[in-house]
Structure 1
Amino acid sequence: MNSSLKVKIIGLMALFMCCLVAVLSYVSVSSTLQRGEVRLRNYQDMLYKQKTDSMKNLVEAISSTASLMPEEEAKQFVRNARYDADGYFLVINTNGNMVVHIDQNLEMQPISAIKDVNNSAFLNKLLEQCKEKGEGTVQYSWMKPGSSKPESKMSYGKVIGKWNWIVVTGDYLEDVEAAVNEEKNHIQQEVWNTIERYLLISALALLIIIAIAGFFINRYITEPLAGAITKVHNYAAKINDTVTTQASFSLELSSSVSEISATMEEFSSSGVLITNHSQGVADSAAQTLQRTRQGVAEVDALMEKMKEIYNDNQVNIQEIVALGHKSKEINKIMEFINNIASQTRLIAFNAALEAASAGEAGKRFGVVALEIRRLADSVMESTKEIETKINEIVAAVSRQVVASEKNTKGIEEGMSYSERTVSIIYDIENAADQTTDAVRQIVLSIQQQQTAGEQVLTALRQIKQGTNDNTAMIQQTKTISKELANLAEELEQVVEHGKKSAAAKQVDD
């Protein structure tokens, strides 16, 4: 415990140094790996180029010699040509057929029938390159004689324009792969050497840093901390007292806010009930106002209908009176017709007497006079019947006029009652409108009051939450003050230990 703070500081510095060394080591190793990959790739390309150049020289040498011979001799020459232990040549033409091969059974066969262990017609790829560029290379897997597994192989081909030949030779790549693997091992060994070098440097740097940190901590940290420890103790005690007072006040404030919040919640609930009831009253008042307006509209329509009935009744009375006058005029006309019929009858009677006195000569005239007399009698009877009917019509017209006058008085009284009813309903409508406005104002006031109550309640909840947060912060502050006091004790112990170490060193000196 005496040197725990010192150990922690030195440990943090050592951890920082380790992280720094680890980052530098990672960057250096990554850079070394990248350079190794580039070097390995360049080395592999160089070996492939050497292999290709060697096969190219062989193909050009055999092609230049064969082009000086006749075609058959050139075929035999290429067929028998050998180099190294198992090197040989073959010839294909631009049509895709085998022309020369050490296995003469394959000659004049399509090259697409020759495939490697991966079932790839590799000679077709070589043929396409040679047609495009005049030469080409292709890699494939082939079963090497005397080997139990396929080996990587590369073939090179070049076009000889004399017979549209493509002279091809190939070589296995095990020497290239062996050289590449060897170079890869060298690169890996260099990487491990770099890692070991950085680890050794890191260990030495860490030891140096620990020694330097211990020296500076003892000289520049331990002694200055002695005077600050007493102040830390005093500050921790004052903070503890202040925090205790604030905690008591926060508890009282939280209790008061809880009581006010409960009261405001009850007030808010009551406001909700009042708002609901007021809204119901407002709805009822609005419905009453709507129905009153409908009643006013219906009474207005009734007044219009009463006026139409009154006007129609006046028109009917006028027409009935006019009909009575016309009936009287018809009666006068019928009297005039009756007088004419009487005179005609009298004249016909006199004419019959004259005809009778005339004897046989006036007999025919007497018949005519008799017929005229009968016609006059018929006319007189008809005029009497018409006169009777007209008198009945006149009497009915008089009764209708009397009834219409009574109806007119009833209609006028009904219109008067309707006008008074309309006035009363208008007064009811105005009162209902005013009542509806008043109820709406009441509902609006209650809603505003409820909104204000909710805002107050929200503010109280925020105050309560703030009080709870303040209480938690006070508890956290108390914990920090305790930790600060403990840290001061540890620092004091470290300082005492440093002083004892310094005193013992002076005694030894």
Structure 2
Amino acid sequence: MSAPVRVLVLTLGLALGTGVLPSAACAADAESIRLFDSELGKRATALLERAVRHIEQTGEKGAADFSRQAAFVDRDLYAYAVRMDGRFLASGGSSAALIGDNVLDYTDIEGKAFFREMIELAKAKGSGQVEYRWFNPADSRGEPKVTMFRKVGEIVVAVGFYPPRATPVQARAMLKDAVKAMTADVKGALAQFQRLDGPFVHDDLYVFVIDTADGRFLAHGATPALVGSNGFEVRDPNGKPVGTEMVRLAAKKGEGELDYSWRNPTTGKIEKKHSYFRTVDGKLVGVGYFQR
């Protein structure tokens, strides 16, 4: 009798967390909920479920259907399958070029052996998540991609996605709306900025507010745990005093811009960020976008 087929199924997701203060880690659960509730998250989850059921019903031989059946492709999302020994079995996307290869030592554009990492995590924990940079056909460059997994057997069935990124135009538009909201009702606006399901949190865009007198965070859409902490003490990973610099620049003209490094809530990575900010009645209101 042949050995039973065991399946490892990768699910959609990502490692999250924002900011550079230790307390920022507690924002991960809220960010994860926000991502899964997004249109992209729901599509990917639905696709994953179809792929999982198919492998559970058909075993390893059914993985080939990922390469030829439309049911396992949803616009820019697709399912792919890898054996636990590293052999790439099938894909409904650009990774179909890997079919038949052993990908244990295959690396992304930063040299990360992400296939090996996900298999090792599956063996050790049965489930987990990996992040890597993959060629994005939409813009012809390597972009952060996210995949989560759970162990069901001897095959890796995956659905990954590129976390959405905001543009400078979107950041400036959100700042304009945030300033308008602060001018109309400060208390109400600060509460709105904290709502993950509200109009001021969208993909990697969010509003932050700092009291220019004492440096306290009054709102932070990505990391609510920062509220009440001293923004003057915040430094990016390169040592730049982000809060202090923003307040100093804004004191000159009532507005400004600043480049620094910060954790992207949709990729979980430290990335370059460009923020726009304005002062409203002694409060600095800011919105930034993450640069590619």
Q: TM-score range by the shorter chain?
A: 0.3 to 0.5
Q: Which has the larger radius of gyration?
A: 1
Normalising to structure 1: TM-score of the pair? 0.27
Normalising to structure 2: TM-score of the pair? 0.44
* Higher fraction of helix: 1
* Higher fraction of strand: 2
